[in-house]
Amino acid sequence: MASALLREEDYFRERFEEWLSREGRRRDLSRRRLLELLAGAGVGAALAACAPPAPAPPPAPPSTGGAAPAPTPIPTTSADRPHVKPTPPDLFISHGVNVEMRWERMAGRGYTTPNELFFIRDHSKTAVIDVTSWRLEIKGSGVERPLTLTYDDLQKLPQVTVTKYVECAGNGRSFFETIGGRRASGTPWKLGAIGVAEFRGPRLRDVLDRAGLKRTARDVMPEGLDDLKVRRPMPIEKATDSDTIVALQMNGQPLPPDHGFPARVLVPGWIGVSSIKWVGSLEVSEEPLYSPWNTESYILIGPDYQPVPPAKGPLVTTQNVKSALELAWPAQLRAGQQTIRGRAWSGVGKIIQVEYSLDGRTWQRATLSSGPNDYGQWVQFEFPWNATPGQYELRLRATDEKGNVQPERVPFNEQGYLYNGIVGHPVSVS
């Protein structure tokens, strides 16, 4: 199993094959028979037999006898104000603890998303960390010498800048209902749960090397200091990839609290939950790692999906190809010559084509900008429109270099992940 597991679906498939082999030997069953059991009445028993252990309770606070104090959130947020930065309705669509970027506010702003406009996805609320007591712990069987690093320690390591997007796995979730007629659970995002920024910090591999990364290391699991201790593993191949970093800055400024200060892991191309905010520890293991965020949530559950133990369904993995217009929803435009602009992106390769349709039947090609365009980034595009009075639905269809094309429909899943179907953007012209 020497594959380069840079794509999360490859990683998850390999771990599933390992599970099948191990469980088959333990139960004295062939691979085929075990798969038959999983597809039938034996699913529940198989899942119970291999389910990962319940998370251990948080450790007791360390003694102060010479040890650095444990990093602890400072309770300056509240239930009625779960964030630090302002989230005014002219910039954001509020979804309670989560807020969505208004795409019309990206018009004319250049390539990156300003920090003040970047969407917020929190599983609880923003953790506000005291950087003077914050420590990053590196531990586990995959390192020779577990250690803790301070913020200053990370700043002293070689720094790199990576311009990539962070996108929630549920971006586009509302369209399962408005287009497909079935409501999925979770925040009803349109397409504003994405943002591109210049992130800067040390490569994760350089951080791990400080602890003596073993050649036998297999998985790395960052854990956040938020209320729920969000954590999600990745293979060592992705952890040591050149653009996986521990981000300390965002668009030339220290990470804002809402986006992970003092440090977050940036895992380009993968769904947003992989880029753990407020990271407090890195577990490095010689064995596969699991958490509730890759066995229970961020899982595809529905009539088109089967359990993939130890997860309840196929893992939500690498982000797919999408596109959006820099217009209000719904938009109102004046009649006459217009230049319509937008952005398209993919988690696996650059965008090679964006098409648009004004009538829902015929398609024309938009003009792509000559700016950045790679996996985990977006590309800007535009097209002319001599708009006449009436009601329209402008439709987009992006294609990436791997041949992925936005589909007409997306199979339903209960938690509403990875919707990337073609969406009609309502526009009124007067």
Please state the separation of Cα 427 from the chain's center in Å.
30
Query: What span, in angstroms and rounded, lies between the C-alpha atoms of 281 and 241?
Result: 19
Regarding whether 272 and 168 lie in a shared domain, the answer is yes
CATH assignment at residue 280: 3.90.420.10
Question: Which helix H or strand E contains 50, and what residues bound it?
Answer: helix 43-50
The one-letter amino acid at 100? E
SS3 335: coil
User: Is residue 276 domain-shared with residue 404, that is, in the same domain?
Assistant: no
Residue 359 sits at the vertex; the CA angle it makes with 355 and 363, to the nearest 5 degrees, is 25
In a shared domain, residues 331 and 278: no
> Quick one: 270 and 400 in the same domain?
no
β-sheet bridge partners, residue 331:
427
Give alpha helix (H) positions in 261-315. none
Residue 428, token pair as written in the block: 């009124």
Distance between CA atoms of residues 119 and 96, nearest Å: 12
Q: Is the model's pLDDT at 23 over the cut of 90?
A: no
- pLDDT for 351-383, tens place per residue? 999 999 999 999 999 999 999 999 999 999 999
Residues 130 and 253 in one domain: yes
Question: Could you tell me if 280 and 425 lie in one domain?
Answer: no
The span from the CA of 232 to the CA of 296, in Å, is 11
Please tell me the pTM assigned to this model: 0.85
Q: Exposed (0-12), middle (13-18) or buried (19+): which is 215, by Cβ within 10 Å?
A: exposed
190 has pLDDT over 70: yes
| pLDDT recorded at residue 75 | 44
Given a cut of 90, is residue 22 above it in pLDDT? no
Residues 329 and 274 in one domain: no
Q: Which residue has the tokens 């990364």?
A: 213
Q: Is residue 217 located within the same domain as residue 338?
A: no
Average confidence (pLDDT) over 89-106 = 96
Range in 4-8, 72-76, 141-145, 260-264 with the lowest mean pLDDT:
72-76
Q: Is residue 198 part of a domain?
A: yes
Structural domains in the chain (count): 3
Closest CA to 100 of 127, 82, 118: 118
Of the residues 285, 309, 338, which one is the last residue of a structural domain?
Answer: 285
Number of Cβ within a 10 Å radius of residue 175: 23
Torsion of CA 219, 220, 226, 227, to 10 degrees: 30
- Owning domain of residue 228: 92-285
| Contact (Cβ atoms closer than 8 angstroms) between residue 422 and residue 407 | yes
* Element (DSSP H or E) covering residue 18: helix 8-27
Q: Is the peptide bond before 310 cis (omega within 30 degrees of 0)?
A: yes
Structural domain contains residue 262 = yes
206 plus 338 within the same structural domain: no
pLDDT digits 0-9 by tens, 121-174: 998 889 999 999 999 999 999 999 999 999 999 999 999 999 999 999 999 999
In a domain, 161, yes or no: yes
Residue that wins the pLDDT comparison between 50 and 141: 141
**217, 161, 104, 409 alpha-carbon torsion, rounded to 10°:** -30
- pLDDT for the residue numbered 211: 98
Q: Is position 34 within any domain?
A: yes
Same domain (yes/no): 148, 276: yes
For residue 174, is it within any domain? yes
Residue 4 or residue 293, greater confidence: 293
Across the range 237-243, mean pLDDT stands at 95
Is a pLDDT exceeding 90 seen at residue 8? no
In a domain, 340, yes or no: yes
CA 164 to chain centre: 11
Which of 257, 285, 313 terminates a domain? The answer is 285
In a domain, 256, yes or no: yes
Cβ–Cβ under 8 Å, residues 428 and 391:
yes
Residue 353 lies in a domain: yes
Q: What is the CATH number of the domain that holds 414?
A: 2.60.40.650
Closest to 118 measured CA to CA, from 76, 87, 80: 87
